[in-house]
C-alpha cells in the first residue's frame, strides 16, 4: 500500500531547497488549510445530496432531479444561493457572540475533520493522544450552539440550545467510553497506530468479538445523538421550535451550521471506520497471504471512503426509520441504558485483554 509520507517528505525537501525553513512551514500550513477547506466543502455537498436521495428512497420519492443529471448540481445551486443571501442583523441580540457562535461550531468541525486518517501517511493531525484530542476539540462545538441560542434573545433559540447542550454533553460520555473500550484493545490513542495495527492483525470489530460489536452499536446510537440527527433531532424540531438554536441566523451564518451538521455526520462515520473497521487498513485474514496481498493492492483512501459510506448508510437508515424522541426519552436512553452498557463493555474489554481472550 502506498505511503503518502513519501510524497510529503519529498515536498518538504523540495520546498526547503528553494526557501528558508520558516517560509517552508508557512507554505505547508497554507497548503494544508486549503486542502482541509476544499475537502470540507466537497464532502459537505456530497453528504447533502446523498441524504436527500436516501430520504427520497425511504419515502418513495425521487428527490432532487431537476438541476443537472439526477439532480447532482442542485446542491451547488443551493450553496451559491446561500452565499448571495443577505445576513440579517437583529437589534436585540448580543451581536458579538451571535457572530462568533457559528465560527466556533465550524472551527471544531474542521479541526476534528483534520484528525481523520485518509490513507497511510495521509493524516493532517496525528498525536500520540489523538483520541483524547479528538474528543476535546469536538466538545468546543457545543459552546457555539449554546452561545447561538443565548445571544439570539429568542425563546425558541434558547430552548433549542438548552436541549442541544443537555443532549450533546450527555451522549459524549457514551462515545468517550466506547472509544476507551477500543483503546483497551489496541493499547494506543494514535490514529495512525490504530490503523496500522488493524492492517497487520485484522479489524478490531472482529478481534474484539461480541464486546467490540456491542460497542460499535452503542457508538452508532450515540453518534447520531451527538450530531443532533433524527431520531435525536429535538433541538431543531421544526414543529415546535422553528429551527431551534439557529432560528435567527440567515445567509452564510446559517450555512455554517448547515455544513457543520453534515460534516459532523461524516466525521462520526469516519471515526467509527477508524476505531472499529480499520480506517484505511484493508480487510486481511491472518494466514491467507495471497488474499491479503490482493486486498492490499486497493488504495487505502478507497478502503476508508467505502467504510465511511457504509457507516453513513447505517446512520441514515437509523434516522429515517425511527420517530423523533421526547427530551425525557433521549436523556433516559443515555443515562439509564447507554452509560451502564458502555461501562460494562469497558470492564468486559479490559478483562478480555487481561485474560488474552481477544483474537
For residues 89 and 153, what is the distance between their CA atoms, to the nearest angstrom? Answer: 13
Per-residue burial over 184-222, b if 16 or more Cβ lie within 10 Å, else e, is bbbeebbbbbbbbbbbebbbbbbbbeebbebbbebbbbb
Q: For residue 94, how far is the Cα from the chain centroid? A: 30
Enter the C-alpha cell of residue 180. 476507551
pLDDT at 250: 80
pTM: 0.90
Look at the block and give the residue holding cell 456491542.
214
For residues 271 and 208, what is the distance between their CA atoms, to the nearest angstrom? Answer: 17
pLDDT at 4: 81
SS (H, E, C) the chain: CCCCHHHHHHHHHHHHCCCCHHHHHHHHHHHHHHHHHHHHHHHHHHHHHHHHHHHHHHCCCCCCCCCCHHHCCHHHHHHHHHHHCCCCCCCCCCHHHHHHHHHHHHHHHHHHHCCCCCECCECCCCCCCHHHHHHHHHCHHHHHHHHHHHHCCCHHHHHHHHHHHHHHHHHHHHHHHHHHHHHHHHCCCCHHHHHHHHHHHCCHHHHCHHHHHHHHHHHHHHHHHHCCCCCCCHHHCHHHHCCHHHCCCCHHHHHHHHHHHHHHHHHHHHHHHHHHHCCCCCCCCCCCHHHHHHHHCCCHHHHHHHHHHHHHHHHHHHHCCCCCCCHHHHHHHHHHHHHHHHHHHHHHHHHHHHHCCCC
Query: Would you write out the chain's pLDDT as a tens digit for each of its 359 residues?
Result: 677 888 888 888 888 888 888 888 888 888 888 888 888 888 888 888 988 899 898 888 888 888 888 888 888 888 888 888 877 777 777 888 888 888 888 889 888 988 899 888 888 888 888 899 999 998 888 888 888 888 888 888 888 888 888 888 899 999 999 999 999 988 889 998 998 888 888 889 988 889 999 999 999 999 988 888 878 887 777 666 677 787 888 888 888 888 888 888 899 999 999 999 988 888 888 777 788 888 888 888 899 999 999 999 999 898 888 888 888 899 999 999 999 999 999 999 999 888 887 76
Burial class (CB in 10 A: 0-12, 13-18, 19+), 353: middle
Per-residue burial over 301-320, b if 16 or more Cβ lie within 10 Å, else e, is bebbbebbbebbebbbebbe
pLDDT in tens, 30-81: 888 888 888 888 888 888 898 889 989 888 888 888 888 888 888 888 888 8
Peptide bond preceding 231: is omega within 30 degrees of 0, i.e. cis?
A: yes
pLDDT at 1: 64
pLDDT at 156: 83
Give the list of residues 6+ apart from residue 125 with CB closer than 8 angstroms, or none: 111, 114, 115, 133
CB 102 within 8 A of CB 256: yes
For residues 230 and 59, what is the distance between their CA atoms, to the nearest angstrom? Answer: 15
Domain count, the chain: 1
Provide φ and ψ at 119, rounded to 5°.
-160, 170
CB 115 within 8 A of CB 32: no
Enter the C-alpha cell of residue 273. 471506520
Domain around 99:
5-355
pLDDT in tens, 285-317: 877 778 888 888 888 889 999 999 999 999 989
Amino acid at each position: 500500500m502506498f505511503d503518502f509520507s513519501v510524497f510529503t517528505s519529498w515536498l518538504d525537501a523540495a520546498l526547503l531547497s528553494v526557501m528558508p525553513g520558516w517560509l517552508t512551514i508557512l507554505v505547508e500550513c497554507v497548503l494544508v488549510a486549503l486542502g482541509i477547506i476544499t475537502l470540507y466543502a466537497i464532502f459537505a455537498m456530497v453528504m447533502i445530496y446523498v441524504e436527500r436521495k436516501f430520504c427520497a428512497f425511504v419515502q418513495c420519492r425521487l428527490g432532487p432531479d431537476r438541476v443537472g443529471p439526477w439532480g447532482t448540481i442542485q446542491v451547488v445551486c443551493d450553496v451559491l444561493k446561500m452565499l448571495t443571501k443577505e445576513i440579517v442583523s437583529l437589534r436585540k441580540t448580543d451581536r458579538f457572540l451571535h457572530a462568533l457562535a457559528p465560527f466556533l461550531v465550524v472551527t471544531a468541525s474542521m479541526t476534528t475533520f483534520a484528525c481523520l486518517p485518509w490513507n497511510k501517511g495521509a493524516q493532517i493531525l496525528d498525536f500520540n493522544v489523538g483520541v483524547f484530542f479528538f474528543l476535546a476539540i469536538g466538545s468546543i462545538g457545543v459552546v457555539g450552539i449554546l452561545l447561538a441560542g443565548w445571544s439570539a434573545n429568542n425563546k425558541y433559540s434558547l430552548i433549542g440550545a438548552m436541549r442541544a447542550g443537555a443532549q450533546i454533553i450527555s451522549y459524549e460520555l457514551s462515545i468517550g467510553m466506547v472509544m476507551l473500550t477500543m483503546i483497551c484493545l489496541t493499547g494506543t490513542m494514535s490514529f495512525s497506530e490504530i490503523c496500522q495495527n488493524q492492517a497487520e492483525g485484522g479489524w478490531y470489530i472482529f478481534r474484539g468479538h461480541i464486546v467490540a460489536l456491542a460497542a460499535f452499536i452503542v457508538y452508532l446510537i450515540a453518534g447520531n445523538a451527538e450530531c443532533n440527527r433524527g431520531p435525536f433531532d429535538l433541538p431543531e424540531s421544526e414543529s415546535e421550535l422553528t429551527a431551534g438554536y439557529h432560528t435567527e441566523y440567515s445567509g452564510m451564518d446559517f450555512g455554517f451550521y448547515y455544513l457543520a451538521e453534515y460534516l459532523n455526520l461524516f466525521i462520526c462515520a469516519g471515526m467509527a471506520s477508524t476505531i472499529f473497521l480499520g480506517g484505511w487498513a484493508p480487510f486481511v485474514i491472518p494466514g491467507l497471504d495471497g488474499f491479503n496481498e490482493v486486498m492490499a493492492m486497493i488504495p487505502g483512501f478507497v478502503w476508508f471512503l467505502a467504510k465511511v459510506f457504509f457507516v453513513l448508510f447505517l446512520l441514515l437508515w437509523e434516522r429515517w426509520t425511527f420517530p423523533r424522541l421526547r427530551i425525557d426519552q433521549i436523556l433516559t436512553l443515555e443515562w439509564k441504558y447507554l452509560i451502564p452498557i458502555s461501562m460494562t463493555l469497558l470492564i468486559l474489554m479490559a478483562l478480555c485483554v487481561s485474560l488474552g481472550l481477544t483474537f
